[in-house]
Structure 1
Amino acid sequence: MSVTDKLSRQLQDETSALRDWAPLRAVIDVFIAVLCVGFAMMPILPAYGTPAALTAVMAGLIAAMVPVLLGAFLRWPFPLTMLVGIASYVVVGGTVAFGRDLVWGVVPSGQSMTSMLTGTVTSWKEALTLEPPLGQSDGVLVLPFLLAFLGAFLVSWVVGWRNSWLTTIIATGVVTLVLITSILWGTQETVLGSHLGVGLFMVLTVWATWRMKVWRPRRWASMSFFLAAVIAASTVLSGQFAPQAPRFVLRSIVIPPFDPRDQISPLSLYRHYVKDRAETPLVSVSGLPENGLVRLATLDAYDGVVWSVSGDQSRAGSGAFRRIGERIEQTAQGDPYDVRVKIEELDGVWTPTIGYLSAVDFDSGSVTDFRFNDATGAAVTIGGLRPGTSYRLQGVLPATPTDEELGETGVGKIALADVANIPDIIAQEAIAIGREGANVPLVIRKYEEYFQTRGYFSHGEATGGYPSLSGHGADRMDDLFSAELMVGDAEQYASAMALLARSQGVPARVVVGFIPEEGASDVTFTGADLSAWVEIYYNEYGWVQYFPTPPSSQTPNASQQEKDPEPEPEAVQLPPDPRPPATPPAVNTEDTEIDAQEDPIDESYDWFAIVRITAVVGIPLILLLAGPLIVIALKARRRGRRKHAPGQLSVIGGWQETLDDAFDLGIRPEKDLTRREAARFIETSQPQVPMRRLADTADRAHFSHGEWSAVDSEQYWLQVEESRRALARSVSWRRRVFAKVSPASLRARKAQRKADAEAAKLTAELFEQSTTPGQQKSVEQRQWSHAP
């Protein structure tokens, strides 16, 4: 078989292989693009705080990709593909986002499919106006499913429609848009911030070049090095120059419909309830278990004025409320309870709960403005409580551990809001009171007993009561300890005990709610029943209650009231003896060398900071300048080799150097032209450049058998430099700068050497086929006889 037949057969095989490879290549293209959409969805996942959000994203990607691929291989018209895609969105999305509305638990219902269509419009606003974590109930997963579906559908259709640079750029733009949207609808918590963006950029760059068949295997090493350098530089730069403030998201400027910090602290309203609404029925509870405390609010932030909920967006923050479904995942162990609650005259947003809640069911159906805090057990109703509202609570009530059990496990660690402006007397009393405690639980018990035994109870009634100011700010706490008699009610004692514990680093918080009488099961609480207590966090047991308020019967007697001290007789106070006049020190006027009282100048250098800043600034500069500097160095090395080559090779190298300069400047003659034809081509476009003389001299050096002296070579290179300067002057300065760092001539010479090697190999094969062994031997002998 001849060489021509071999090449023809090889071309046919490659064409057939490409034809068979095309469908698989299209599927790989679509899969990579859809996978990039999935990675671009990562910043939105922390806003939901549940693995179900990742499931929704994956379901959205598959639900969008499958109809597009089916439509492409079955050659469906676009409207049919669109209809199948919408059906996939409604059915699969309804199953993922509205699992409780499924028929028989697997078949989407009409309600779920309708909710998916309306969620296309409403989910964007809902995700911004709810406090994260959003959870997975009541259709909050519509947005991640919708965003993943739209992004995957667009990139799948664009990539499968046509293989061009335009569609590739559009697909890359869709992925970028999905990434930006995920960041804006996410939280201020960064998720692989710069690394995710750099990674997507690199993957999309490699995918685009591979898709358009301009990727070369030799670029793997350079691309890997560039990727590692960019990631290292981004890490260093982000740590040094990036601001440590939370990143911008839309929810930071969208005012949510409910912020618990805007509500009046229930502890501040304590006196209002116990005095002005003492006989008003507030809440009725039936089926209350033993030791079942009814919680209204949990407060863990103190600013020196009031106890309130914290604005922390973490799950441990008392101000983070979320919507819940029919069930709440609960890991606490204890006695189960089933309680019915009815709102009487209780107003505000704070909704009564009991113990560790696992389910809530309103009689009027799903209440969409009910929010729950997993960390504190508190709940709110956004629109405010309405008289007559009733609901059912289910959960568990843990047993109260003993001090011995608490001493074995120890105080736990949990994220709480900081307390500020604590009076100094609080820390002093905390040390003095707890001095006899052998461990932390016993110290906390000492705090509780101290208030129960030393304190007196009073609401500060106007008639017949002992004076007791309301409030629990820093001044009121200072008066509670410094007054002759410690007098207050649950508001002051709960606040004081919590501050004692927090001043010693013990996690404590204040709870406002109702404490039922012992043995009470069905009870109606009035304003006079409102109380407050303290919770301390322990390992293995969680939050344990303490009740520092003394009994209401423990009131101060009239004889214990402070009496104004009788005035003492005035005594004449003699003025103090005058001080002797100060004598200034003697100054030695002869001593002119007086040391200046100036602070010494610290001339030491922070070398670590200098090295760090140098690295931070140097790495980006190296990344930016490495490529151009390498190209310039390779060109200088090539020019030096050509100029210092022996004899005729130096002249031929000078001509090649001139052509390479013209090539980088954009003046590119055809490859098969002779030197004189190439010179004529250049002079036609650039008449001021003398090229024919260089071409003729290079031809004489190439085809003559005489020796060329070093002087002739140097004179030729002077002409080469003159021609190169003329070429540079003939173009704009921008093209001159670009030509300095352009690797075009380097790549062209490499490609030419490769082509020459292939041509020589092909010539050798033709020679072997067209000659006999004897002729080959004769030719080889002749070649050896003429060899130098």
Structure 2
Amino acid sequence: MSAPARRDLRARRAARTPWRFLIVQAAVLLLVVAVGAIAAWPIYRGPAFVVLVIVATIAATAIAAAGLRWRQNGWWVALVTIGAYLVLGLPLAAPGSLGSVPQALQGLRGVVTAPVTGWKDLLTLELPLGSYQATLAPALLVFLAATVLALSIAWRGGRWWPLAVIAALIPTVFGIAFGSTAPMPAPALGPLTLSREALVGMAALVAALVAIVWRTTADRRRAIATATAATGVRSGSRPLRGLAGRAATAAGMVAIGLVGATFVAPWALAGSPREVLRADVDPRLELAAELSPLGQYRTWFGDDRFDQPMFRVAAPDGVDRVRLATLPFYDGRVARVVDPTAASGDARSSFTRVPSALPANAGSVTGSARIAVEGWDGVWMPTVGSVTSIDFDGADAATLADGFYYNAETSAGVQLAEPRLRTGAEYRQGAAYPEAVPALGSLEPARSAPTLGEDIVPESLVRWVDEHANGSGGAGLEQLVELLRARGFLSHALTIDAAAPPSWTADLGDYAFQPSRAGHSTDRIDQLFTDLLAREDEVGGDDDAALVAAVGDDEQFAVAAMMIADRLGFDARIVVGMRLESADDTLSTCDDGVCTAGDISAWLEVRGAGPEWVPVDVTPQHAVFPSPDTQQRQDPKIPTDVRQEQAEAVQPADANPSDGGRSPGDDTATSQDLSALWTTLRIGGISLLVLLLLFGPFALIVLVKLARRRGRRASADPVERFTGGWQEFVDAAVDHGLPGPGSRTRHELVTAYGGSAGAAELATLADRSVFDVAPPDQDDADRFWRIVESERSRLDDGLGFWARLRARVSLRSLVRRERRVARAQRLPRDRRDR
């Protein structure tokens, strides 16, 4: 063998891609992906995530290697990746759904819809997610697709290989974008304090630089080896000075980034939350449209519900209350669970879905409670202590888990699934509760000024507090609340039937009914304290039995106590719920864990300078009746006679939500139930969106080619119709896997394509349209395009369905650059025209 032949053989061998290059290229890119796994770890924090990342990267490497080995195009690799996602999705992304066939079907549905709806779950659920339902599906999609894309681009070479590094950084972007809004601390390095995000960012930067430097170095060595094999001339060694300069530059970039992350970033971002996608998503629910649970308080004392069991509770020792709703907002009309005017991100108004578990507060005791629903059907969900986990039982377990939202700041949960909690529903709740609740008298005020405005707090309450305040801090608040309870009187109604008194009066024993108006607006609270002050001015002294004058129930007294606590500098909120046990035998409790409607109550929770919330009972006494003088000042039971001829009919006003009523527009009994239609439309819309995401790109390619063909055929210029038809023929051949025209003439290209008679005639007619003196007529153009359609059909002869479909959606003809060729072919005719 001659020397030139040996050099050519060495050149061809050097041009091949050695397996060592492929392995090292995969290793450096997988290093970048591994940094992305570290970045996404805080989102899940579970062993299922580790297994998912390992299996996804192995599967992605195998798919990319198979596509390279059998020289498959990008569409084949994409379809195989989608298939791998669907096959691996159930065991990796929804491992908790493998217990039964119905759960597996629901888990598979979650995996299929995750590319569309799964991102919302990542933004609305509290972190960490663990393996909750199908929340791992977005991570599987990201790590599988990003790794396949990165390896495919890098292994197939070409000038686009830097995109492989960008693709490998997608998992890191995923972990940062969907992470927590609060920066996570990292171990301190001596005097240096770094955040975890800074360390992850630096690691991603270093890993990306390693991948880029290695690839550029490897390409340079391969190019030198190819040139050496082809020419036999060896180049000199690389100057160490240039290599040292480049290494110093890279080290300087890393050092600058490290200094910035260590010193500048913590100083510049001190006290600022991380700006991530979660910070821009407000999962606030439509709870503002619900009537206030305090406004509905008296509806539970009707004879049709009073003795009806609502739910059964088995709570750990140390838990003495069941919470239904927490109301931290009051606007002078109604106490609310959420504030419609609150800014996005207000912790007191933000309800989020609960994934696998929530952390318990420091210093709290953990336990487990079980709650079985009987007659309860409201949106407010019974919970005990602070929720750390929740597991629903029964066939509707997945639906109820999707509809459960929790506010960790107020320790309250809601159930928004349809249907909501109903008879037979059961769930186990992990609870965290304080080992010892501090005494109210030991609390110190959190601030020196109230937060409720003067237009909300009535002047009568301010005067009463000023006249009876005896001490400060928690002791003063405790004394005022006890004084208010002692001088109040319990009543749940404005009127009763004396012949058939309601059940709640009989439950109170020796009880004499006193009427009281519902509602807890500022006007109603003003009436409460106006009665107290009037009785004190009339009787005098400090005998509580003689000064009983404020008639109402927990609805009014809870709001009054909240105003008092706020005026003394305490954070206060109202809680609606039930007591499991109480040291005060005058208060209603759930017997043996069975909570009836008549056991419902409202109390106050107060927080001072510390983090603990202390419950404060506000229910007024019912043993000492108001004095006769006070009774005389009540509204007369016999109304004044009205002359009918002078009477005018007055339509009743809309019910005030703060008075516990509903407006006529709130009557939903006769409204049409459109829930089934909405469910059908939602499922249909999601299914259609999934189909569009899967098949939309292919349909778009077909439509673009169809529009291109119609534009070429309908061109106003006769020459353009011929040259456009020839380009359509060449594009169809290229899409079927034939080579591009390159520098070949039309007849040479026809020979390369098989030399059919129709193709040869196309080449002749196309050349005549460009070079002939006489322009072609319309009949020739129509005949030309008929031949084009015939040749396009001939290219499909002998091909299977998938091969023909692959040609239809091929991108080769769309990315082929032929403008320069077309202009060169039209140039002689243009010159002739001039």
Change (3 A) 1:489 1:151: same
Deviation at 1:37, TM superposition (A): 4.1
Look up the match of 1:513.
577
Q: In the alignment, which residue of structure 2 is the partner of 1:500?
A: 564
CA shift for structure 1 position 427: 7.5
Matching residue of 1:212:
216
Taking structure 1 as the reference length, the TM-score comes to 0.53
Q: 2:286 aligns with which of 252, 255, 259?
A: 259
Size of the alignment, in residue pairs? 527
**Rounded Cα–Cα distance in structure 2 between residues aligned with 1:560 and 1:117:** 68
Label 1:394 to 1:252 Cα distance change in 2 as closer, same or farther (>3 A). closer
User: In 1, are the aligned partners of 2:488 and 2:620 still within 8 Å (CA)?
Assistant: yes
Q: Which residue of 2 aligns with 1:471?
A: 519
| 1:455 matched to 2:500 | no
* Secondary structure in structure 2 of the residue aligned to 1:388: coil
* Correspondence for 1:26: 25
CA distance in 2, matches of 1:62, 1:324: 23
Aligned equivalents of 1:549 and 1:512: distance in 2? 12
Task: Report the Cα distance in structure 2 between the residues aligned to 1:24 and 1:120, rounded to whole angstroms.
Answer: 32
Kindly indicate whether the alpha-carbon contact (under 8 Å) linking 2:516 and 2:552 is maintained by their aligned counterparts in 1: yes
| C-alpha contact (below 8 Å) 2:578/2:590 kept by paired residues | no
Say whether the 8 Å CA contact 2:33–2:171 is kept in structure 1: no
Give the counterpart letter for 2:413 in structure 1: A
Say whether residues 1:150 and 2:161 are aligned partners.
no
Contact 1:427–1:504 under 8 Å retained in 2: no
Q: What secondary structure sits across from 1:139 in the alignment?
A: coil
Of 386, 390, 409, 2:425 maps to 390
Q: Which residue of 2 aligns with 1:557?
A: 627
Q: Which residue of 2 aligns with 1:636?
A: none
Write the distance in 2 (CA, Å) between the matches of 1:76 and 1:270: 72
2:96 pairs with 94, 100, 109, which one? 100
Assess, with a 3 A threshold, how the Cα gap between structure 1 residues 26 and 519 changes in structure 2: closer, same or farther: closer
Is the Cα–Cα contact under 8 Å of residues 338 and 394 in structure 1 kept in the other structure? Answer: yes
Give the whole-Å Cα distance in 2 for the aligned partners of 1:242 and 1:507: 27
Tell me the distance in 1 between the aligned counterparts of 2:590 and 2:280. Answer: 48
- Give, in angstroms, the shift of residue 493 of structure 1: 1.6
The change in CA–CA distance for 1:246 and 1:492 in structure 2 (over 3 A counts) is farther
Of the candidates 316, 324, 344, which is equivalent to residue 296 of structure 1? 324
Pair 172,431 (structure 1): closer, same or farther in 2 beyond 3 Å: farther
For 1:102 and 1:227, the matched residues in 2 are separated by 46
- 1:247–1:400 distance in 2 versus 1, CA, 3 Å: closer
Report the Cα offset of residue 451 of structure 1: 2.4
For 1:67, give the aligned amino acid.
A
Whole-Å Cα distance in 1 between the matches of residues 630 and 445 of structure 2? Answer: 41
Deviations 1:258-287, CA, capped at 9 Å, x for gaps: 433443321122244446966483714376
Question: Which residue of 2 is the match for residue 64 of structure 1?
Answer: 56
2:118 aligned partner? 124
Q: Counterpart of 1:734?
A: none
Note the C-alpha offset of 1:167: 1.8
- Kindly name which structure, 1 or 2, has the bigger radius of gyration based on alpha carbons: 1
Q: Hey, what's the Cα distance between the residues in 1 that align with 2:430 and 2:445? A: 23
- Conservation of the 8 A alpha-carbon contact between 1:451 and 1:549: no
Partner residue of 1:138? Answer: 133
1:112 Cα shift? 8.6
How far off its partner does 1:462 sit? 3.9
Equivalent in the alignment of 2:735: none
State the partner residue of 2:393: 362
Q: Residue 521 of structure 1 aligns to a residue in which SS?
A: coil
> 2: distance between equivalents of 1:539 and 1:93?
49
Distance in 2 between the 1:429 and 1:172 partners? Answer: 72
C-alpha deviation, 1:127, in angstroms: 2.0
For residues 429 and 492 of structure 2, what CA distance do their matches in structure 1 show?
35
* Structure 1 unpaired stretches of 5+: 1-14, 565-788
Q: Counterparts of 1:413 and 1:94 in 2: how far apart (Å)?
A: 51
1:130-209 aligned at under 5 Å gives the runs 130-133=124-127, 135-136=129-130, 137-162=132-157, 164-168=158-162, 170-174=163-167, 204=208, 207-209=211-213
Judge conservation of contact 1:321–1:379 (CA < 8 Å) in 2: no
Q: 1:418 to 1:365 in 2, by over 3 A?
A: farther
Q: Aligned letter for 2:121?
A: A
Report the CA distance between 1:66 and its aligned residue: 2.2
| 1:119 CA displacement | 4.5
**Amino acid of the structure 2 residue aligned with 1:341:** V
Structure 1 residue 348 corresponds to structure 2 residue 378: yes
Matches within 5 A, 1:483-494: 483=531, 484=533, 485-494=549-558
CA contact (8 A) 1:299 1:509 kept: yes
Structure 2 regions of 5+ residues with no counterpart? 1-13, 185-194, 221-241, 499-512, 534-548, 581-587, 635-834
Q: Which residue of 2 aligns with 1:744?
A: none
Return the alpha-carbon distance in structure 1 between the equivalents of residues 60 and 315 of structure 2. Answer: 57
RMSD (Å), alpha carbons = 5.4
Q: Percent identity?
A: 21
Q: Which residue type is aligned with residue 174 of structure 1?
A: A
Query: Residue by residue, what CA displacement relative to the aligned partner does 1:1-22 show, whole Å, maximum 9, x if unpaired?
Result: xxxxxxxxxxxxxx9xx97963
**Equivalent-residue separation in structure 2 for 1:113 and 1:533 (angstroms):** 42
Structure 2 counterpart of 1:530, from 600, 609, 630: 600
Counterpart check, 1:378 vs 2:412: yes
Q: SS state of the match for residue 291, structure 2? A: coil
Structure-to-structure mapping, 1:256-655, within 5 angstroms:
258-274=285-301, 279=306, 281=308, 283-285=310-312, 292-310=320-338, 317=348, 319-324=350-355, 332-333=364-365, 337-342=369-374, 344=375, 346-355=376-385, 359-368=390-399, 369-373=402-406, 375=408, 376-382=410-416, 383=418, 385=420, 387-393=422-428, 401=436, 423=457, 435-436=470-471, 440=474, 442-459=475-492, 461-462=494-495, 468-483=516-531, 484=533, 485-515=549-579, 517-518=588-589, 520-521=591-592, 523=594, 525-526=596-597, 528-536=598-606, 543-561=613-631
Q: C-alpha separation between the residues in 2 aligned to 1:432 and 1:68?
A: 76
Query: Deviations 1:312-344 (Å, cap 9, x if unpaired)?
Result: 88796464231455x7776853786544321x2
Counterpart secondary structure, 1:436: coil
Does the CA contact (< 8 Å) of 2:373 and 2:423 recur in 1?
Answer: no
